[in-house]
Amino acid sequence: MGTRQPGLENGTAHRAGRVRPGSNRPRAGTWCEAWTVRDIVIHQSGHAEELARVLGAHLAGDPVSTRGFEQREAPFCALCDDDLWSAFTDRHLGTALARLTEPWMTDHSVYAVGTPLLTRGVKELGADERLFARLRVPGRDDVALTADPGRTTIELASPDGQATLETDAAARVLLLWRRRPADPSRICSQAGPDTLGRLRRLLSGY
């Protein structure tokens, strides 16, 4: 796939590569300079499979090292266009979306990466801004966040009081990773724009 463009491994590919492979020519260009639709699909498929492999091994207590781009993408590079699209929908979309609903993905987002990333996000709040938020999913523990100037906490807690927002399990993980579901109606809230704005800025450290 050639030389990596700066920033692609940090999410630019996700934003720049919002393509629908089934309705685009595989060799068509994208907003990601020098990358075709096929390049983006290969990159995203390899990334999704590697993320699932590494996280799954970590949670099983048998950590594995992360493979390089060439190794993780090689099987997808070898596929013809039709097979590549099938693999993308099955592995990247199907498997990835299914994993987002699993409790371990929420646990990982809260405990493994939540605290250090919120430490960065709290810097986006004003000196006199404070936040207590509960992200609720029916039948699951709340994700409870607090933020004071220079201090944050994030944990799973039994549902209590009014939720800041209510959504489904997959959408909540997306929010924790500073993403949003394509359908905004999956998120419901009566907290008001000020509180939701502070929550968005707090999560901007992700």
Nearest to 132 by CA among 162, 177, 168: 162
- DSSP track, 37-102: HHHHHHHHHHHHHHHHHHHHHHHTT---PPPPHHHHHHHHHTS-HHHHHHHIIIIIIIIHHHHHTS
- For position 201, which CATH number holds? 3.30.1050.10
Q: Which residue has the higher pLDDT, 146 or 3?
A: 146
Q: Mean pLDDT throughout 23-50?
A: 76
Same domain, 88 and 134: no
Whether residue 54 contacts residue 112, with contact meaning beta carbons closer than 8 Å, is answered with no
Q: How far apart are CA 31 and CA 98, in angstroms?
A: 28
Same domain, 133 and 181: yes
Same domain, 109 and 201: yes
Same domain, 116 and 39: no
What domain count does the chain have? 2
Same domain, 157 and 187: yes
Same domain, 142 and 127: yes
Same domain, 93 and 27: yes
Structure confidence by residue, pLDDT tens digits, 7-19: 333 343 344 344 4
Dig out the tokens for 82 from the structure: 């039709």
Return the half-sphere exposure (C-beta side, CA atoms, 13 A cut-off) of residue 3: 3
144: helix, strand or coil: strand
Q: Which of 100, 131, 166 delimits the end of a domain?
A: 100
Q: Which of 52, 71, 100 delimits the end of a domain?
A: 100
pLDDT score, position 14: 42
Confidence of residue 89 (pLDDT cuts 50, 70, 90): confident
Confidence of residue 158 (pLDDT cuts 50, 70, 90): very high
Q: How far apart are CA 192 and CA 199, in angstroms?
A: 11
Residue 172 has pLDDT above 80, yes or no: yes
Same domain, 88 and 128: no
Helical (H) or strand (E) element with 13: helix 12-16
Judge whether 196 lies within some domain: yes
Judge whether 2 lies within some domain: no
pLDDT score, position 17: 42
pTM: 0.59
Strand partners, 151: 148
Structure confidence by residue, pLDDT tens digits, 182-192: 888 999 999 99
Mean pLDDT of the chain: 78
Judge whether 32 lies within some domain: yes
pLDDT score, position 11: 40
Judge whether 19 lies within some domain: yes
Provide the domain limits for residue 147: 105-205
Same domain, 68 and 46: yes
